[in-house]
Structures are given as structure tokens and as C-alpha cells.
Homo-oligomer: A and B are copies of this chain.
Amino acid sequence: MTDLPATNLTMLTLVKPEGELEVFFERRPMPEPAPHEVVVKIATTPINPSDLGLLFGAADMTSARASERDGLPVITADIPEVGMRAMAGRVGEALPIGNEGCGVVVKAGSSPEAQAMLGKTVALLGGEMYAEYRCLPIQMVMPLPDGTDPVDGASCFVNPLTSLAFTETMRMEGHSAIVHTAAASNLGQMLVKICAKDGIPLVNIVRSDAQVAMLKDIGAQYVLNSSDPDFQSQLVDAISETGATLGFDATGGGKLAGQVLGAMEVAAAKRMTTYSRYGSDTFKQVYIYGALDLSPTIFSSRAAGLSWSLSGFLLTHFLQRSGAEVAGRMRQRVIDELTTTFKSHYSHQISLTDALKMDVAQAYNAKRTGEKYLIRPHG
């Protein structure tokens, strides 16, 4: 068994009562695995949009400043009053960060099941991945096929399972096509590949012609640029052709979710043969699963008719609702298609301490979706 160092460098995020966010490193004691736990040496861990809510919270990142403590980087930022109210539950508690990652089991608890994992490359889910090591119960650890590149194993859960959850939701709730916003994202590219493979009509909404070209390159059929002056009528046409009555919106704020609902209603009303003051009977569902746009959500409920729903979507809640069998099937597909459908592309690979440099914080704060960072704690 490898001799492990005495400490485990871990990134922490802290909301201070005086209205300041501090993200910093701490050398924590190396964890000792319980009988059913393993210690994994983290090889790779991505920075996902879903990590940022915890990492930077409701701080005003335009006020962010860099400093050093014990030779390690620190980022500090002011938190507006409304942000402090939203984060009241975490004041004074330094929280570890990082939803998922990949690494090698370097120490195992005494149970035979844990011992059997020694030396295996595994994917991990469960927070606290922005660290050198992570100790987890074995059920939170998913063994990957021999020879898996840890870069390919870094993002096995959040984006793959969320994009699969979209198509599972479509089937569970009786829809037959999907509209997806911010579709050029890592997750959006996976969804394009899943839908192409499974024959599911998908309307992708992106924000630039370069993103249109990129998604068409990987096989997308419908890709609309929301900056086009005739975007709304293009959207109605694409929804009419595909029959999409289900949408997933990563932006959250602004008008886009409402535009999708409205276009679905226009498409549904076109199919009606008699006038109804209430609009169509077609049920239209848009789920908000992200918050790329932090401004308020604005929409016309009347334009959506009377049979519609706008709801929050969280992978955890979906998995609770769908049950173990569906979750197991989804995980198996991720492993089977890890280097094809679910391959992630990273624009930057950085060290753990470099992840707390200002340029990284600012890239994420600017929501430049083309940039995707992979942390490699051991280089």
C-alpha cells in the first residue's frame, strides 16, 4: 500500500458574517477509511457551472481580489446584502467544493468490498473533489474499465446523467421532442449526440453562428441562433416540425424560457381547427436547470395558453423520482459511451492551486461557455 502524506490540500469556500466571501486552501489531516470506505487520489476534477453556485455563491465577483496565505492563493469578494440573505444558512462554515472527479483508489477500508477496489481507476460523485485526496463510501465510487484515461473519467456524472435525465424525463412525461437552450455547452453537446443516436428530435438554441456551426458539425439538425432578428419565428417553425412540448433551459433568467413556452403554444394553436379563448389543450413543460442569466425570469403566462408549466429541475430530484433501475441503466450507458457520446472537451488543464487564480474566476464569472477547466491536483 502506498504511504500517503499526512495532509490533504483542500479548497474551501467561506461566507463571513461581515459580508465577505473567502475561497482558500487548507491542509487537512489525511482521512482514514472506515471499513466500507476507500481513499482516492484525485487525478482529475472538472469545474462545472453547477460547482460555481457553491464556490462563489452570491458574491459580487467584480469586486474579487487575489491574495496569498502560507504561499497558497486566496480569493476574496464582497457579498451584497441580498446575497447574504440568500446564503444565511452557510455563514461561518468553511465548505469544501467539487461535485465529481476521477482518480485511483490508493487506500481501502478493511471490508473485502473496499479491499477489492485497491488500485482501480474510479469515477467519484459526492462533493469535496477540489482536493488531493477524497475518502468515500464504496457505493459513491464507480469503477471504470481498465485503461480509462482519467481525463475521460473526470465528468462521468453531472453532465452525462443530466443530459440522459432530459431524455428519460421526455419519455416519462409523454413528450416526443425537446428544446434545449445554451445548447453549445458541454452538456448540450452530449444531448445532441444522445438524441441523434436515439432518434429524438432536438431543437438547439445557441447565441452565435460559431456555436450553430459547431453543433451542426457534431450532428445537430435544428440549431437556432437567438441573436437572429427572426429567432422567434424560426423557433415556432422548428417546434412545429418537431412537435416539441418539453424544454430545458440553462439560462434561468431573462425571457428565453417564456419564449419557448410561447412558441410551443403558437405551434399548438396552429394545429387547432376551432378557436378557443383559452388557447390549445396541449400541455407544455419547460424546466429551468441552470442560472447562466441571474436576472429575473420574465414571461407572458397568457402567451403560453392555460396548459403549461415552468419548473425547477435538479438531477438529484430526478434520480429520486425515477428510481434505482433507471439510474443504474443511465450509469451503465455513461460507462459504455464514455469516449464517444459522453466525451468532454477541456480548454484548460490546471493545477489545484491554479484553480484559485483570478483568470479562472473571471472566465467563469463571464460565463464564457467555450472555456472549460479541468483540475489535475497531482499534475
Which A residues have a C-beta under 8 Å from some C-beta of B? 53-54, 57, 86, 89-90, 93, 95, 252-253, 258, 269, 272, 274-278, 281, 288, 291, 294, 296-314, 316-317
Q: Which of B89, B277, B301 contacts A275 (CB 8 A)?
A: B89
Given contacts A57-B277, A297-B300, 5 further A-B contacts (CB under 8 A): A89-B276, A90-B275, A297-B301, A304-B312, A306-B314
A283 — nearest CB in chain B belongs to which residue? Answer: B317
Which residues of chain B are near A93, meaning CB under 8 Å? 275
Q: Could you tell me if A301 and B288 are in contact, using CB atoms closer than 8 angstroms?
A: yes
Which residues of chain B are near A258, meaning CB under 8 Å? 296-297
Q: Mostly helix, strand, loop or mixed at chain A's interface?
A: mixed
A312 — nearest CB in chain B belongs to which residue? Answer: B306
Q: Could you tell me if A253 and B301 are in contact, using CB atoms closer than 8 angstroms?
A: yes
Given contacts A89-B275, A93-B275, contact A291 B301 (CB under 8 A): yes
Which residues of chain B are near A278, meaning CB under 8 Å? 53, 314, 316
Q: Could you tell me if B306 and A309 are in contact, using CB atoms closer than 8 angstroms?
A: no
A303 — nearest CB in chain B belongs to which residue? Answer: B86
A252 — nearest CB in chain B belongs to which residue? Answer: B301
Given contacts A275-B89, A310-B310, contact A252 B302 (CB under 8 A): yes
Q: Which of B95, B308, B312 contacts A305 (CB 8 A)?
A: B312
Q: Could you tell me if A300 and B309 are in contact, using CB atoms closer than 8 angstroms?
A: no
Q: Could you tell me if B302 and A306 are in contact, using CB atoms closer than 8 angstroms?
A: no
Which residues of chain B are near A288, meaning CB under 8 Å? 301
Query: How many Å from the CB of A268 to the closest CB on chain B?
Result: 12
Query: How many Å from the CB of A274 to the closest CB on chain B?
Result: 8
Given contacts A89-B269, A89-B275, A275-B89, contact A307 B314 (CB under 8 A): yes
Query: How many Å from the CB of A278 to the closest CB on chain B?
Result: 6
A312–B310 alpha-carbon span in the complex (Å): 9
Which residues of chain B are near A90, meaning CB under 8 Å? 275, 277
8 A-B pairs with least C-beta separation: A89-B275, A309-B311, A306-B312, A306-B314, A90-B275, A54-B277, A308-B312, A310-B310
Given contacts A54-B277, A307-B314, A312-B306, contact A298 B301 (CB under 8 A): no
A304–B296 alpha-carbon span in the complex (Å): 12
Which residues of chain B are near A95, meaning CB under 8 Å? 275
A288–B300 alpha-carbon span in the complex (Å): 11
Which residues of chain B are near A310, meaning CB under 8 Å? 309-311
Q: Could you tell me if A312 and B312 are in contact, using CB atoms closer than 8 angstroms?
A: no
Query: How many Å from the CB of A127 to the closest CB on chain B?
Result: 10
Which residues of chain B are near A89, meaning CB under 8 Å? 269, 272, 274-276
Given contacts A308-B312, A309-B310, A309-B312, contact A299 B297 (CB under 8 A): yes
A95–B274 alpha-carbon span in the complex (Å): 12
Given contacts A252-B301, A297-B299, A297-B301, contact A317 B306 (CB under 8 A): yes
A294–B302 alpha-carbon span in the complex (Å): 8
Q: Which of B291, B311, B317 contacts A302 (CB 8 A)?
A: B291
A297–B301 alpha-carbon span in the complex (Å): 7
Query: How many Å from the CB of A59 to the closest CB on chain B?
Result: 13
